[in-house]
Amino acid sequence: MLTVGSLTEQELHQRLRNGLTLSTGPFAYRIHSRCPPVAAGLATLYADFPIEPDGGIADFHIHVQPVRGMRRWLGSQVEFRLDQHSPFLPLPADHAFALLEWGMNWCLASQANHYLLFHAAVLEKDGQCLVMPGDPGAGKSTLTAALMLSGWRLLSDEMAMIDRDDGQASPLARPVSLKNQSIDVIRGFAPDAVLGEAARDTHKGTVSHMRPSATSVTRRRQKVRPTQVIFPRWRAGASTQLQPVNKALAFERLAAHAFNYSLLGRLGFELTADLIDTCRCWDFSYSDLPDGLAALDGLPR
């Protein structure tokens, strides 16, 4: 099987010029780019992903390319396009890989309405499946990265996708987005973790992505039914605590993290209600990462 990591640098650049198709869970992206940071990021962070055959069907045809027209006089910039649509303003050229990742997320959030979509991380271990919505600054991505590095299978760092037909979570297994202090926390927690080049001074601060585990990539088509909904919150000096959340409140809080709850109407309500009904729901506060991981490993089934 041909993988991104098996290509030489020259082969990777050539494929990106013509279009490189990657499958992440149920979706295939055909990526076109002449930007060196995109090739470098894919080589580092998508090394375990198989390359789909040329000529196959892709769900999204995306481009990250240097800007054209008058904007090129404003400095070295790149733009993201889905087909011929550019949903974002151009960014500095060294933000090209981060722009690719944000654009891939946007494709799902705006187009994948045959799933109920939440802004949440999803991980699984031995049939225990956590859905973790995250408010800004809650430490969701740091916790997600640490769980994956501790043996949990990553389904997604950013997007919980609940299948409308069976209520199961579908995996993506793309890189984990770490921001600001989280980058150093994870480097200290797991010095062998593979992180890409940092993009600095983005609208989210400094951003670096972490390679998903080989197991997560290999099992990227295996769905699982969620068993726990966790609302994480990192607080300096806080003791590790898991507190049950009333299901009505958990429903309200989870729905607030949905991308397409209102669009799906009654179906969105029913899928969210079923998810809450079949899961235990918790507020989770922590400051010590190893202690927090031990608490999540010991969750009742």
Domain termination site, one of 56, 78, 111: 111
Residue located via tokens 């799933």: 115
Q: Say yes or no: 73 and 164 in one domain.
A: no
pLDDT at 11: 97
Domain co-membership, 125 together with 93: no
Angstrom distance (rounded) from CA 265 to CA 173: 28
Both 46 and 120 in one domain: the answer is no
pLDDT, one tens digit per residue, over 203-245 is 999 999 999 999 999 999 999 999 999 999 999 999 999 999 9
Same domain, 104 and 119: no
- Residue the block writes with tokens 């041909």: 2
Question: Lowest-pLDDT range, 2-6, 45-49, 134-138, 285-289?
Answer: 134-138
Residues 161 and 289 in one domain: yes
If DSSP codes are grouped into helix, strand and coil, which group holds residue 269? Answer: helix
Q: pLDDT band at residue 74, thresholds of 50, 70 and 90?
A: low
User: Are both 126 and 225 inside the same structural domain?
Assistant: yes
Residues 13 and 133 in one domain: no
Asked whether residue 144 falls in the same domain as residue 281, the answer is yes
Is residue 106 within 8 Å of 153, Cβ to Cβ?
no
Residues 213 and 147 both lie in one domain: yes
Q: Do 80 and 192 share a structural domain?
A: no
Same domain for 230 and 137 = yes
Residue 12: the pLDDT is 97
The number of folded domains in the chain is: 2
- Structural domain range at position 145: 115-297
Q: Determine the average pLDDT of the residues in 133-158.
A: 94
Report the 10 Å Cβ neighbour count for 83: 9
Answer with the one of 93, 111, 129 that is the final residue of a domain. 111
Last residue of a domain, one of 111, 138, 158: 111
Q: Using CA atoms, how far apart are residues 128 and 300, in angstroms rounded to an integer?
A: 9
Q: Degrees (nearest 5) of the Cα angle 82, 272, 176? A: 45
Over range 177-202, report the average pLDDT. Answer: 96
Same domain, 14 and 36: yes
